[in-house]
Every structure is written in C-alpha cells, then in structure tokens.
Amino acid sequence: MAEENVVMIRNLSKIYQQGEINVTALNNICLDIRKGEFLALMGPSGSGKSTLLHIIAGIDRPTNGQCVVQGIDVTRLNESALADWRNQNVGFVFQTFNLIPVLTAYENVELPLLLTRLGRRERRQLVTTALELVGLADRAGHLPKQLSGGQEQRAAIARALVTDPSLVVADEPTGNLDSQSALEVLAILQALSRSAGKTVILVTHDPKAAAFGSRSIHLEKGELVNGETDLSLLPLQPAKKS
C-alpha cells in the first residue's frame, strides 16, 4: 500500500430483523479508506450510508464481516473497550448538532475530555484551541440556544476535534443549515483533511457537499455501486467568512 489505509472493510453486512421480515441495510461491502482522505458517502435515503458510517465509527455493529479501523477490528471490541476507542479515535458531527442544551459551547466541547485524566488547565487549553479553530472563541460562554445553526454546528465540530481523533465522521452535517453556514462547515471539514491530515467521512445526499471531498462513493440498497469519483486533484474550495 502506497498510502496507509485507515479503514478496511471486508464483506460487511447489516441485516435488521423486523418481526419476521429481514431488512438488509448493507450487503457485502468491501471498502478501503486512506489516511487523510475526505470521503463522501452518497446515496438516496435508505441506501445504508448512515449505517455504514455508524459501523465505521463504532456506534453500531454489523451482522457479518469485518471493519478494521487503524489496525483495530472494531467489530470485536466489547462495549467498554469500544467506548474508550471512540473517545480517543473518533469525532462525531451530526445533522442535528446534538449539543447538550444546558451546557455552554465551552462545556459542550469539554465533554469528551472529562473522560480523560487531563487536568483543568490542560482541558482549557485544548477546548480553547478547538473553539479557535472553528472560529467560536468569542462564543465560548454561550448556550446552544444563543448560537445560530452554523455556530452550533461549528461547536459540534470543535467537540469532535477536541480529543484530536484521527477519524472524523459527519452524518449530513449541513442538513439543517443555510447555504452560507453549510459552506463554512464543509470548508472546515475539508481543512481538517487537507491541512490536519485527519480522515473525514461525510455522509450526504447533496452533490455540492460531496464536491468538498477528495473521493465519493455511492450506495444504493445497501450496496456499493460504480461511479466512485476521485476528487483529490480538484483545488481547495475557498472558505467564506460570516
């Protein structure tokens, strides 16, 4: 391998049982994701893209197959070990932001760090850095209800980055944002991949969002289809400030 594969998926399937009916969300997926890649997972609603993302991120388990992330087969880890692994290796960005409403932006970003042995001073440093990276340093003391949608999502990205994970997963992160905020968020994710060397996996149904990635793959009815596009040769999309 010329470049290191951060994620290696082999014969992955996910089948849900709904009464007597079996629903196949993923069918025999094989996929490699390189380090530092910005991969866009595209597909219509119900195609299995979120399911695939969840399995890679360690918040869901496949029915069959293997998923190795940074050399660790996450499908074999127990609940406890998987939780620890997620805390150190994965940053989550969700469509609905999912900030804790009673905590300020600062406190939301600090949440993952409470599980570490870091002292208060060290935590402050990391949180401040993460907030500065997403341009929210002046909003640290604001509650989520005092932030705009775009700012909330940037706070969520800061929370995803604060433990310096190597893998960032984003499930339709621009779904609830206006176009301007969406562009800002996508630019941040792109910068994480290009400049910080993080592996970013973005689930989206929007081709414009997928264009920010270095590669996109398509799922339909739980299967990978042809049409994968390598976007790594395209220039960096400029970030627009608010």
103 binds another protein (CB under 8 A): yes
- Interface residue with another protein, options 94, 176, 187, 220 (CB under 8 A): 94
CA angle 49, 165, 94 (to 5 degrees): 40
Beta-bridge partners for 90? 167
User: Could you tell me the two tokens for 147?
Assistant: 């932030």
Q: How far is the CB of 88 from another protein (least distance, A)?
A: 7
130 near another protein (CB under 8 A): no
Q: Provide the H-helix boundaries in the chain.
A: 49-57, 79-89, 105-110, 120-133, 149-161, 179-194, 207-210
- Is residue 205 classed as helix, strand or coil in its secondary structure? coil
DSSP 138: G
Segment contacting another protein by CB under 8 A, of 32-40, 85-93, 199-207, 213-221: 85-93
If the CB atoms of residues 109 and 209 are measured against another protein, the closer one turns out to be: 109
- 79 vs 138, which CB is nearer to another protein? 79
| Maximum Cα interatomic distance, the chain, rounded to a whole number of Å | 55
Cβ count within 10 A of residue 13 = 16
Please report whether residue 128 would count as binding another protein according to CB under 8 A.
no
**Measured torsion, CA atoms of residues 41, 45, 46, 51, in degrees rounded to the nearest 10:** 40
Q: Which of 23, 30, 115, 236 binds another protein (CB under 8 A)?
A: 115
87: contact with another protein by CB under 8 A = yes
Question: Does residue number 86 form part of the binding site for another protein (CB under 8 A)?
Answer: yes
DSSP-based three-state secondary structure for 140: coil
> Per-residue contact track with another protein, 36 to 65, x per CB under 8 A?
------------------x--x-xx-----
| Number of residues engaging another protein in binding (CB under 8 A) | 27
If one asks whether residue 92 binds another protein (CB under 8 A), the answer comes out as yes
Q: Which residues sit at the interface with another protein, rule CB under 8 A?
A: 54, 57, 59-60, 79-80, 83-88, 92, 94, 98, 100-103, 106-107, 110-112, 114-115, 159
